[in-house]
Each structure stands twice: as C-alpha cells, then as structure tokens.
Amino acid sequence: MECRKEENLKNCNCTYNCSKKGICCLCVKEHRERKEIPACFFPKSAEKTYDRSIKHFVEINK
Ligand code: SF4
C-alpha cells in the first residue's frame, strides 16, 4: 500500500518540526511508545503546547 503522506499532510495539524509529519503509521507508533497521543487529536490551542500526554488529552476532553 502506498504511503499517503501528501494526503495525510492536508489533515495534519502538527506544528512540531518532525521527520514523521504526515507519515501517520510512524507518528502513531512513536507516540504510542511514549504513551502519548498524536497532534491531530488535539485542537490548535492544545497542539501548540506540544504536550501530547494522555493526561493532557483527557483534561481537554472532560
Ligand atoms: S497521526 Fe501524526 S502525522 Fe498523521 S495526521 Fe496525526 S499528527 Fe499528523
């Protein structure tokens, strides 16, 4: 299956300077290993804090 990087980038709100941006499979793998959640699950205001923790995700979705 072809990587959909270009397509994914249209919906990716991650502002972090990361080599995995738009490569969702690698992004999810990396964040999962760190017990984090990818940027696209966070609204802009929360995304720009770079706090990708599950705790932060739960807090903003209460
Ligand atoms: S999974 Fe990662 S790379 Fe894919 S859209 Fe979300 S933040 Fe961007």
Query: HEC states along the chain?
Result: CCCCHHHHHCCCCCCCCCCCCCCHHHHHHHHHHCCECCHHHCCHHHHCCCCCEHHHHHHHCC
Confidence of residue 19 (pLDDT cuts 50, 70, 90): very high
Residue 52 structural domain: 36-62
Tell me how far the alpha carbon of residue 22 lies from the centroid of ligand 1, in angstroms.
Answer: 5
Please tell me if the CB atom of residue 38 comes closer than 6 angstroms to any atom of ligand 1: yes
Report pLDDT for 2: 73
The arithmetic mean of pLDDT across residues 24-34, rounded, is 96
Tell me how far the alpha carbon of residue 19 lies from the centroid of ligand 1, in angstroms.
Answer: 11
Mean pLDDT is lowest, of 2-6, 36-40, 49-53, 58-62, for 2-6
Report pLDDT for 62: 87
Confidence of residue 31 (pLDDT cuts 50, 70, 90): very high
Does 58 fall in a domain? yes
Please tell me if the CB atom of residue 19 comes closer than 6 angstroms to any atom of ligand 1: no
| Residues 39 and 13: beta-carbon distance below 8 Å | yes
The percentage of residues in the chain with a pLDDT greater than 90, rounded to a whole number, is 92
Does 62 fall in a domain? yes
* Number of structural domains found in the chain: 1
Interatomic CA distance for residues 41 and 12, integer angstroms: 10
Residue nearest to atom 8 of ligand 1 (CA): 12
